[in-house]
Amino acid sequence: MTPLGHGTLFLGAYRGFRALKDAGWTDRMPRLLGAQAAGYAPIANELHGDDEAAGDNSVADGIQILDPARKDHILDAIEATGGDAIVLDAEPVADALDRLHRGGFYVEPTSAVAPAALEAYRERGVLDRDDDVVVPLTGSGLKS
């Protein structure tokens, strides 16, 4: 589960897991899930239509990307892993950021996208509470 702007982290995870599978170190690829900022969600829009991308998310400014340079590669990785991309408004990201800060994780706002997406995917029934999920915290709060 990663924030999804230009797709660097997302595609890095895809390539890394694919290399592990090709080397025989794992027998399957994980499902890759991403989240985009509302108002800046070309991947989710491609997957789910215009309504999914409506809204605004000024909190997650690090992924406010309207034209990702590797959009086709991102879509290919989503298809290859049975993954998905969703859109998050500012409120769940701000709430997740507050929870992270209270828990001692001083991260920049876009880092809160992945934990907020975890809850959204659980609410949608994509992930169960007991599923193993990696949720990277991607940037220091010193950047904000």
The mean pLDDT of 40-69, rounded to a whole number, is 84
Name the residue with tokens 């897991």.
17
pTM of the model: 0.89
Tens of pLDDT, residues 70-96: 999 999 999 999 999 999 999 999 999
By the 8 A CB rule, do 73 and 7 touch?
A: yes
What percentage of the chain reaches a pLDDT higher than 90?
81
Give strand pairing partners of 87: 36
Provide CB contacts within 8 A for 98, sequence distance 6+.
none
- CA–CA separation, 141 and 28 (whole Å): 34
pLDDT, tens digit, for every residue of 12-25? 999 999 999 999 99
pLDDT value at residue 52: 56
Cβ neighbours of residue 23 under 8 Å, at least 6 residues apart? none
Helix (DSSP H) and strand (DSSP E) numbers for the chain: 5, 3
Whether the per-residue pLDDT at 53 is higher than 60: the answer is no
CB neighbours of 73 closer than 8 A, spacing ≥ 6? 7, 11
SS3 47: helix
Domain 2-137: CATH architecture, name and number where available? 3-Layer(aba) Sandwich (3.40)
Query: Residue 31 pLDDT > 90, yes or no?
Result: yes
Residue spans per domain, the chain: 2-137
